[in-house]
């Protein structure tokens, strides 16, 4: 029986140890095509900077590449970190994508920097207190709503004749939930790295929601970290790469994603073990039946309209297999070859 929610995925474009950047980039296209054929609803890329294990530093390029290679899946940012960019630049980029692939692009917007303090300085990133101003400026560019005496009122957004794609706000604490509702945006909650319950944020979003052109009704996405394999034992083994790599990253050891074999050889420091102990409850690992039941439970508990899965496995082939097993276990219908 099909799940009562849509299923989507987030690709961080991981660079596995022993794999070239070119191979990792080619994998983003292969995964997009696989997800499209399996019937996934949307595919998002998250903006990250200064991380050797992640190649999703420029989501709009990956979005264009994936959209060109697929037929029906929606493709977007999850998210673009608005404080890293001039709002006009984002308006131009995502209008261009919408013009190229009408009806298939999403603009997910986050306030986090997507990197550490050094990366923020290198990007000339704005401070957190400016997010509302950046967002208002982005919308004013798109809606051509600057007051006549505003200097930006004389700046036409190119390309013209097209609006920004549907906009989503991303959150991990519920702080932006009401704002997303008031703006008539969609709202996505990052439960894959946040211990804060999603249900209160979704409730606040729905309470504040005002219908918009893109969202006549509220729409929520619950983001989860999942590793699925034919057996729970294999899934647990594959997850070692994720846990060790995350612990090393948090404690300042930047590196590409290691294999389970090499991860097992790493002697964890007490601080790294503490990171794993604190984060492991957010990582869902198991066989298809276990994962389908756990995902359905979390979606129901949160009141999510859609679930977005992110999967970290050293082997690209086994990562694609994980997404296939989940789609089959949750009853997602494959996308017909005639879908556009």
Question: Do the beta carbons of residue 239 and residue 283 sit within 8 Å?
Answer: yes
3-state class (DSSP) for residue 10: strand
Q: Are 74 and 106 in contact (CB under 8 A)?
A: yes
- pLDDT at residue 49, as a whole number: 86
197-240 pLDDT, tens digit per residue, is: 999 999 999 999 999 999 999 999 999 999 999 999 999 999 99
Q: What residues have CB less than 8 Å from 216, skipping those under 6 apart?
A: none
DSSP 54: B
Please report the domains of the chain, with CATH numbers, ordered by start residue.
6-226+284-329 (3.20.20.30)
Please report, for residues 36, 186, 218, 314, the alpha-carbon distance to residue 97 in angstroms, rounded to integers and kept in the order given: 18, 19, 24, 30
Task: State the greatest distance between any 2 C-alpha atoms of the chain, in Å, as a whole number.
Answer: 65
Q: Is residue 241 within 8 Å of 258, Cβ to Cβ? A: yes
Strand partners, 107: 77, 167
Q: Which pair of structure tokens corresponds to residue 105? A: 């692009």
d(CA 162, CA 154): 18
pLDDT at residue 53, rounded to an integer = 85
What's the confidence (pLDDT) of residue 336?
81
Q: Which residues contact 217 (CB under 8 A, 6 or more apart)?
A: 209, 211
Best CA proximity match to 187, nearest among 212, 211, 206, 200:
206
Q: What percent of the chain has pLDDT over 90?
A: 86
CB of 335 closer than 8 Å to CB of 264: no
In the chain, which residues have pLDDT < 50?
A: 339-340
Q: What are 261-311's pLDDT values in tens digits? A: 999 999 999 999 999 999 999 999 999 999 999 999 999 999 999 999 999
- Cα separation, 323 vs 124, in Å, equals 37
So what's the pLDDT on residue 112? 76
How confident is the model at residue 317, as a pLDDT? 97
């Amino acid at each position: 029986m099909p799940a009562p929610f849509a299923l989507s995925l987030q690709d961080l474009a991981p660079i596995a140890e022993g794999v070239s950047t070119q191979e990792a980039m080619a994998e983003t296209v292969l995964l997009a095509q696989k997800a499209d054929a399996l019937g996934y609803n949307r595919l998002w890329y998250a903006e990250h900077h200064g991380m050797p294990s992640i190649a999703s530093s420029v989501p709009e390029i990956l979005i264009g590449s994936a959209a060109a290679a697929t037929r029906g899946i929606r493709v977007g940012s999850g998210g673009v970190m608005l404080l890293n960019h001039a709002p006009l630049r984002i308006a131009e980029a995502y209008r261009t994508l919408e013009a190229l692939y009408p009806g298939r692009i999403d603009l997910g917007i986050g306030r986090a920097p997507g990197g550490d303090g050094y990366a923020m300085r290198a990007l000339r990133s704005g401070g957190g207190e400016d997010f509302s101003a950046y967002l208002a400026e982005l919308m004013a560019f798109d809606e051509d709503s600057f007051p006549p005496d505003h200097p930006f009122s004389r700046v036409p957004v190119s390309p013209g004749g097209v609006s920004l794609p549907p906009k989503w706000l991303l959150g991990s604490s519920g702080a932006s939930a009401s704002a997303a509702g008031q703006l008539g945006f969609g709202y996505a909650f990052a439960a894959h790295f946040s211990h804060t319950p999603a249900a209160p944020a979704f409730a606040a979003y729905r309470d504040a929601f005002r219908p918009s052109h893109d969202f006549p009704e509220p729409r929520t996405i619950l983001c989860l970290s999942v590793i699925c394999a034919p057996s729970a034992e294999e899934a647990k083994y594959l997850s070692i790469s994720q846990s060790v790599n995350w612990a090393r990253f948090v404690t300042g050891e930047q590196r590409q994603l290691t294999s389970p074999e090499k991860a097992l050889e790493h002697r964890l420091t007490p601080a790294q073990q503490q990171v794993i102990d604190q984060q492991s409850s957010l990582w869902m690992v198991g066989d298809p039946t276990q994962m389908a039941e756990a995902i359905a439970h979390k979606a129901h508990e949160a009141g999510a309209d859609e679930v977005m899965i992110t999967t970290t496995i050293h082997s690209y082939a086994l990562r694609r297999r994980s997404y296939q097993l989940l789609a089959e276990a949750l009853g997602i219908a494959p996308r017909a070859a005639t879908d556009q």
